[in-house]
Structure 1
Amino acid sequence: MQLLGRLEIKSEEKIAQFLNEEHVGRIASLDQDGFPQIIPMNFAFVNGVIYMHSHTRGEKLDNIKANPKVGFEVDKELEFLPSYFSSPTDASQADTLYISVVIKGDGIIINDKEEKTLALNALMEKYQPEGKYERLAPEMHVVDEVAIIKVIPKTMRGKYKIGQHMDKATRMQIAKKILEKNSPTARQTIQTMGFDIIENDVKMVRDPTW
């Protein structure tokens, strides 16, 4: 199997889980001169589509109205692997463990108040799960004060590199070095790679196959 195939996320559930957990995505649209404009946005993934809220005026809205073809991307760096993990002198051995999802699709500005309300409530549920706010209803003025961008995917592909491209011995060795380096994300990365940490040592639990 080629490396690209090994890096592709096969599970739709894993893609949805990743999109539901991450807080920043980037929407790409084409401006009037044909240049891509890329904007970081908060977003919610609901019923297989992406929703974002925006000011009612702006370049990205003009771009989408003129050309609905958009891109949307979400990524997460899990861990930078220094070159010395693999070689004492070869800097090209540095690598990064990551997860990403790339969407190509149609962007739509939503006018229907029921759908706008669904999107806004989904955004609040995601970003403020502790509650302490009043759920929105279609008749509320705030629904008219924001724009909602909807991205309907034509294609959605996920990629991940969490050690599945390595043999088990190498993956174990890398996990132990990550634990020893003890970055702020080390323990979470090790668990994502399919290991548990028991008595400050790494134990394999599962193969990281998505």
Structure 2
Amino acid sequence: MRHEHHFRMSPEDALALLARAPLVHLATTTPAGAPVLRALDFALVDGAVTFHGARTGEKAACVGRPAVVAAEELVARLPSYFVDPERACPASTLYRSVQVHGRLEEVTDPVEQARALTALMARWQPEGGFRPIDPRDPHYASALRGVMVLRLRVERVDGKAKLGQNRTPEQRRALVEGLRRRGAPGDAEAIEAILAACGELSSAAPSPPRPRT
């Protein structure tokens, strides 16, 4: 990870980013070595990235293979003119990202399968409105036999928060001022993120932007 001394997140913050991500990307390989990349709906269950799929297809063939799951969070896009009125080079993006490494495994215990699928439902349908998932319930028994539940137990976490730490104080002040003037949705939060990552600005920072009406 380039400039990791500037950008590295704590494992706790990286896993919190993963937990709030709307989806993740899974990268792995088939037994033949072919690359596999998939966008996944998921839930964290006992610290493992858990998802489901068909019993046939590439994901099923990747059980037992090393894999990486990644998520990212856009904080703000920064036009070049925030820092320089002519050069395009300063254009950049503030973001947070996380990668977790592990090995894919199938969840075969029906009770654990039900827990995983219940966690997915709780994530996206917290209001309920469905019959509890129970492997002993005839409504679900055949469905649980037909679905494949997979998980990746986290063996290593890499988190990155690029929030202007590599910029000079003058450049960071220009970025904060540019965000304040622009006042687009999310710019107030971007200013707070820069200030949290680069505390020396706090005493001289302009007031946050007002939402546009």
TM more than 0.5: yes
- Structure 2: unaligned runs, 5 residues or longer: 197-201
Give the corresponding residue for 2:18. 19
Q: Select which of 194, 201, 206 maps to 2:207.
A: 201
Q: Does 2:129 correspond to 1:123?
A: no
* Paired position in structure 2 for 1:8: 8
The count of aligned residue pairs is 196
CA contact (8 A) 1:26 1:73 kept: yes
Aligned residue type for 2:132: R
Structural mapping, 1:141-160, within 5 Å: 141=141, 142-160=143-161
The match for 1:49 is: 48
The residue that corresponds to 1:206 in the other structure is none
The residue type equivalent to 1:89 in the other structure is E
In structure 2, what is the Cα distance between the partners aligned to 1:175 and 1:53?
42
Contact 1:20 1:126 in 2 (8 A): no
The code of the aligned residue for 2:19 comes to N
CA drift at 1:169: 5.3
Answering whether residue 98 of structure 2 is matched by residue 101 of structure 1, we say: yes
Pick closer, same or farther for the CA change 1:89–1:155 going to 2, 3 Å.
same
TM-superposed deviation, 1:33 = 4.2
Between the two proteins, what is the percent identity of the paired residues?
24
TM-aligned CA distance change 1:68 to 1:33, over 3 Å: closer
Query: Which whole-Å CA distance do the structure 2 matches of 1:132 and 1:16 have between them?
Result: 29
Report the TM-score, using the length of structure 1 for normalisation: 0.82
Amino acid at match of 1:151: L
> 1:121 is aligned with what amino acid?
T
Q: Superposition pairs for residues 51-130 of structure 1, below 5 Å?
A: 51-62=50-61, 64-65=62-63, 67-130=64-127
- The 8 Å contact of residues 16 and 45 in structure 1, kept in 2 or not, is answered as no
Structure possessing the higher radius of gyration over alpha carbons: 2
For residues 193 and 53 of structure 1, what CA distance do their matches in structure 2 show? 37
Tell me the residue number matched to 1:180. 181
- The structure with more strand, counted as a fraction of residues: 1
Gaps of 5+ in 1: 204-210
- How large is the Cα RMSD of the aligned pairs? 2.4
